[in-house]
Amino acid sequence: MLSYRHSFHAGNHADVVKHLVQVAILDYLLKKDKPFCYHDSHAGAGLYSLLAEQAQKTNEYQGGIAKLWQHEVQNPTLQRYIDVIKQLNTDDELAFYPGSPKIAALMLRSTDSIQATELHPTDYPILASQFARRRYSRIENMDAWAGFKAMLPPLYKRGLVLIDPPYELKTEYQDVVAGLQLAYQRFPQATYAIWYPVIERDAVEAFIRELVNTGIKNQLRIELCPHSDSSGYGMTGSGMLVINPPYTLAATMREVLTEIQPHVAANGDWQVHQLVPE
């Protein structure tokens, strides 16, 4: 279960759509003065070198963030996303890519709290070292679902919970549904953003139906697929199922995906659909 290392995949098309959704939600939460909590269930190492052996072995970032790095941006959310990444790079060289907890650290105010769990024995200390001096942060070497029990609800009554397991095992799909129900019961005010890979379409649709059938209201589906559906192996796209989305999120993501499609999904497609009403 601990074989997955995100360093091989950092900055790919799945990261692009996941982090664009994350940035859009965080920016919305930042509009209010009151602090909020960001909780990351599968946090990874936090920061990745795109020049390291792992990233260079797969070159997946070349089909993701590298396609947008020098793009003349129109949408402000897309610009915000790129600006966050540029904070970690100099001289227009794309050398580092932030994971979701690092993006949160770069965007949040000192009064906002960050919680994260990571089980991998190598990635956890790398992640924890980045938050050692940050107040209002709690980084644990802990299973994601145990982390929900230990940390939710947080002190603050607003927040974003990002759930993005590697889905190494088929049972992880059921774990996500059960984990979401647990977290939502404890922290129903939060926005939940659940990442999922598109590998086999029937399995994806079955997973989405399970999420819908939880009875949780206000579910928005956002998906970007650079490649056509395939019955073979390999990820053809990915998506985010967002619960309690900001009212601006659907329109924002339609604009963003329209802008980035020619660059990262020229032969593919995208969708933004309200699956369950408020």
Is 175 buried (19+), middle (13-18) or exposed (0-12) by CB count in 10 A?
middle
C-alpha dist (Å) from residue 163 to 81, 166, 194, 223, 229: 19, 10, 5, 15, 24
Quote the tokens at residue 264: 């990262």
Please count the other Cβ atoms lying within 10 Å of the Cβ belonging to residue 31.
8
* Burial annotation 260-272 (CB, 10 A radius, 16+ → b, else e): bbebbbeebebeb
- The answer to whether residues 118 and 43 touch, using CB atoms and an 8 Å cutoff, is yes
Catalytic residue among 92, 164, 202, 269: 164
- The answer to whether residues 236 and 186 touch, using CB atoms and an 8 Å cutoff, is no
Residue keyed to tokens 């607003």: 158
Q: Is 202 a catalytic residue?
A: no
Quote the tokens at residue 260: 């980035």
Cα 17 from Cα 23, distance rounded (Å):
10
Q: What are phi and psi of 242, to 5 degrees?
A: -110, 125
Residues designated as active site: 164
